[in-house]
């Protein structure tokens, strides 16, 4: 069985300002030619949950499994990597350019903490599937007070 690498940490908040990301999203959705090549693109995702788990599916066709990085901290998930451009004929010019290439990154903030020991990832037909178990809430416990 081959494994997808998953890292756990909490020191990755290099997303840039919200204003810059909003402008990039507006122009990118209007025409992908406006997208800055140095800015990461966001893969489309589905996120749903059951009482016990979160299920996340990311659409990242054309990306090799070894080019995908998954990082998890207690309440957030970051999927990043790189999709190389497809070869085209040297004399060809674009009539339509909608597929985004280069670096991609997507951060999802989860409403509850997850159990880092119960995480799995699979990659099939261009879809990355993640399954993250929710941490069980700790029950309050009574602390006895002793006399000195």
Name, of 94-98, 108-112, 143-147, the range with top average pLDDT: 108-112
Query: Can you tell me which residue has the tokens 């339509």?
Result: 96
Q: List the alpha helices (DSSP H) in 5-127.
A: 18-30
Residue partners of 10: CB distance under 8 A and separation at least 6 = 73, 74
- So what's the pLDDT on residue 95? 86
pLDDT level of residue 14 (50, 70, 90 thresholds): very low
Q: Is residue 92 part of a domain?
A: no
Q: Is residue 97 part of a domain?
A: no
Whether residue 24 contacts residue 36, with contact meaning beta carbons closer than 8 Å, is answered with: yes
27-60 pLDDT tens trace: 555 555 554 455 789 999 999 999 999 999 999 9
Q: pLDDT: is 29 or 111 the higher one?
A: 111
Query: Can you tell me which residue has the tokens 């209007």?
Result: 30
Q: Is residue 141 part of a domain?
A: no
- So what's the pLDDT on residue 94? 82
Q: Is residue 45 part of a domain?
A: yes
What residue numbers bound the domain in which 70 lies?
A: 10-84+103-134
Whether this model's pTM surpasses 0.75: no
Q: Is residue 98 part of a domain?
A: no
Q: Is residue 4 part of a domain?
A: no
- CATH number for the domain spanning 19: value is 2.60.40.790
Whether residue 40 contacts residue 104, with contact meaning beta carbons closer than 8 Å, is answered with: yes
- Return the closest-CA partner of residue 57 out of 93, 108, 16: 108
Q: Is residue 80 part of a domain?
A: yes
- So what's the pLDDT on residue 40? 83
| CA diameter of the chain | 88
Q: What residues pair up with 68 in beta bridges, in sequence order? A: 81
Q: How many domains does the chain have?
A: 1
Instruction: Give SS3 for 76.
Output: strand
DSSP state of 29: H
- Return the closest-CA partner of residue 103 out of 72, 129, 57, 69: 69
Q: Is residue 18 part of a domain?
A: yes
């Amino acid at each position: 069985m081959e494994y997808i690498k998953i890292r756990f940490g909490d020191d990755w908040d290099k997303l840039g300002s919200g204003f810059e990301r909003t402008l990039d999203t507006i122009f990118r959705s209007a025409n992908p030619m406006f997208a800055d090549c140095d800015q990461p693109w966001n893969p489309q995702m589905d996120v749903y949950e059951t009482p016990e788990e979160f299920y996340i599916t990311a659409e990242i066709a054309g990306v090799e499994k070894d080019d995908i990085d998954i990082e998890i901290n207690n309440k957030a998930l970051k999927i990043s990597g790189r999709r190389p451009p497809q070869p085209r004929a040297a004399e060809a010019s674009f009539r339509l350019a909608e597929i985004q290439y280069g670096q991609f990154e997507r951060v999802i903030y989860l409403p509850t903490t997850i159990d880092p020991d119960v995480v799995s990832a699979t990659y099939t037909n261009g879809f990355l599937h993640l399954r993250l178990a929710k941490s069980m809430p700790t029950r309050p416990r009574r602390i006895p007070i002793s006399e000195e």
